[in-house]
Amino acid sequence: MDDNKKLEQIESAFYPESIAVVGASADEHKFGTLFLHSLQAHFKGRIYPVNPNQTGVAGLQAYPSVEAIPHPVDYVIVATPRGSILDTVGDCVRKGVKAIHIFSAGFSESGEGGYQELEREMVSMAQEGGARIIGPNCLGLCCPTGNLPFGPEGIMPKSGKVAFVSQSGGIAVAFVLSGIAADIRFSKVAAFGNGSDLDGADFLEYLKADGETEIVGMYLEGAQDCRPLFKLIREVTPVKPVVVLKGGKSEAGNRGAFSHTGAIAGSKVVWEAALKQAHAIEVQGVEELTDTVLAFQQLGRLGAKGAVPMAGLLGAGGGMVVTSSDIFTREGIPLPVFSRETEEKLRKIIPQVGSILRNPLDVGAVGSRPEALAEAMEVLADDPETGIIVVIEMLDQLLLVHSMESVRAIHRVFAGFREKRSMPFAVVLYPALAEKERSEIVGGLSRAQIPVYPSLDRAARAIANVRRYWKFRDELEEGSGGARR
């Protein structure tokens, strides 16, 4: 099949008009039934349960086979034992199905020669019949704008510009759920498991041209041939950031990757060098993946200018100032010296007693006065060397002397600043005993498109990752003579 045909088939898989679920039954605990309920809760198109032993499932008419469905079927989810897979794929091919998502496991990842051959035969049968296979051993696809939920849990994130491609369903679920909690908004999710047919390179090729996607996250364990994948990453990064979490880098992880998805994980050194040469941002865990993608989504383009950490909304500022200096410097983020004009303006707003009028800035008790805080932030944003402002908060200390309504007023200042200024802005809000109040604040800041991090370390690492990518983009545009935005 040519590349255009393949991309059309991937497109139709993300936006099906009709879906059949092979393996849906009256047993509410079977995965086929869970997938069916997931679709009933979200999908707007036609849904067909397939079970030769039942005439109806979950209030829908059931059919003995996909071929027996009297209407076109675009997408099929297969949740039946592996032994029947060739019959099922043949059934789908005869029906003219475009994409077959095989949730069932026990194929090449088992390491058993017979089931590795079965996987190859299954793919050959599908491709000869004009269909594509997603999986096996995977959770499949999600597309919020296509009303296609993710997995048997029926996860449906808000629609946005972040796509995620994962060799692991578990990592995909972890990232999507942590992303939902952080208000990351998704365009597409693809968990492709063994990648027997469509794999990470295929989905990345699709996302390269996808108009809904501006940021790509990936979890990869390996591939039979990594060269097409690295080539595609190099093609995508000049236009969209690619953030990669690589699994199977240790010897034990390498063995685990094969038993998980049948992937050949490859050399740690080779992967790290190839990702660096392709200008992908490599991260070291789901937390850093979430933090970095959130920063790309909320902060926009970060240039070479430095950061201004602002601490001490009420106490604890001095120590946080020193710590933030160390952490940001360690991550390669400059802390520019304020201009004389900026210092003079700050002195008029912030009393020198109990504050530090250098960068990082300890605003002292004035930080709990919304009107003064708003004025100080405007001054910082006007300094020509400020590239991002990072506010550091200790909620429990604020609540010692302020009502929750006063604390809300402080955060309304942040939301107002974000609304009227293009200056990148983030908040570090440490875990608090007042967890209910903290959750409320995080929700409000997220709705205002302000990224919130639970520690300075995590915020600084995410900001550094984003700065590194935009440095590459700036150098690329300068080298090609393009206008810098």
Name the band, by pLDDT with cuts 50, 70 and 90, for residue 317.
Answer: low
- Tokens 């808000």 identify what position? 158
In terms of domains, do 289 and 305 share one? no
Name the band, by pLDDT with cuts 50, 70 and 90, for residue 261.
Answer: very low
Q: Is the pTM of this model over 0.85?
A: yes
Among 270, 298, 326, identify where a domain stops.
298
31 located within any domain: yes
In terms of domains, do 162 and 273 share one? yes
Residue 481: per-residue pLDDT: 67
In terms of domains, do 49 and 24 share one? yes
Read off the pLDDT of residues 404-429 as tens digits, 9 standing for 90 and up. 999 999 999 999 999 999 999 999 99
Which H helix or E strand runs over 246? strand 242-246
Residue 416: per-residue pLDDT: 96
Q: Give me the CATH number covering residue 198.
A: 3.40.50.261
- Mean pLDDT across the stretch 261-275? 73
Read off the pLDDT of residues 175-210 as tens digits, 9 standing for 90 and up. 999 999 999 999 999 999 999 999 999 999 999 999
Residue 368: per-residue pLDDT: 65
In terms of domains, do 161 and 286 share one? yes
Q: Please check the confidence at residue 477 and state whether its pLDDT lies above 50.
A: yes
Read off the pLDDT of residues 129-155 as tens digits, 9 standing for 90 and up. 999 999 999 999 999 999 999 999 999
In terms of domains, do 263 and 317 share one? no
477 located within any domain: no
- Mean pLDDT across the stretch 2-29? 94
In terms of domains, do 170 and 97 share one? no
The tokens of 408 are what? 């809300």
Cα–Cα distance between 385 and 467 in angstroms, integer? 15
| pLDDT averaged over every residue in the chain | 90
Among 134, 158, 174, identify where a domain stops.
134
480 located within any domain: no
In terms of domains, do 450 and 313 share one? yes
Among 298, 322, 344, identify where a domain stops.
298
Q: Please check the confidence at residue 484 and state whether its pLDDT lies above 50.
A: no
Q: Give me the CATH number covering residue 62.
A: 3.40.50.720
341 sits in the region (left: phi over 0; alpha: psi -120 to 50; else beta) called alpha
Cα–Cα distance between 391 and 376 in angstroms, integer? 12
> Which domain range does residue 311 map to?
301-472
Q: Please check the confidence at residue 475 and state whether its pLDDT lies above 60.
A: yes
Read off the pLDDT of residues 58-106 as tens digits, 9 standing for 90 and up. 999 999 999 999 999 999 999 999 999 999 999 999 999 999 999 999 8
Go through 254-291 and write b for each residue having 16 or more CB atoms within 10 A of its CB, e for each that does not: beebbebbbbebbeeeebeebbeebbbbbbeebbbbbb
Name the band, by pLDDT with cuts 50, 70 and 90, for residue 369.
Answer: confident
Which residues have a Cβ under 8 Å from the Cβ of 418 and sit 6 or more positions away? 425, 448, 449, 450
482 located within any domain: no
Q: Please check the confidence at residue 282 and state whether its pLDDT lies above 90.
A: yes
- Mean pLDDT across the stretch 10-37? 97
Cα–Cα distance between 474 and 238 in angstroms, integer? 10
Name the band, by pLDDT with cuts 50, 70 and 90, for residue 109.
Answer: confident
Number of domains in the chain: 3
Name the band, by pLDDT with cuts 50, 70 and 90, for residue 253.
Answer: very low
458 located within any domain: yes
Which residues have a Cβ under 8 Å from the Cβ of 79 and sit 6 or more positions away? 21, 22, 23, 24, 30, 31, 32, 35, 103, 104
483 located within any domain: no
Query: 362, 393 in Cβ contact below 8 A?
Result: no
238 located within any domain: yes
Residue 398: per-residue pLDDT: 85
Number of CB atoms found within 10 A of residue 389's CB: 23
Which residue spans within 316-369 are E strands per DSSP? 361-362
Choose between 267 and 292: higher pLDDT: 292
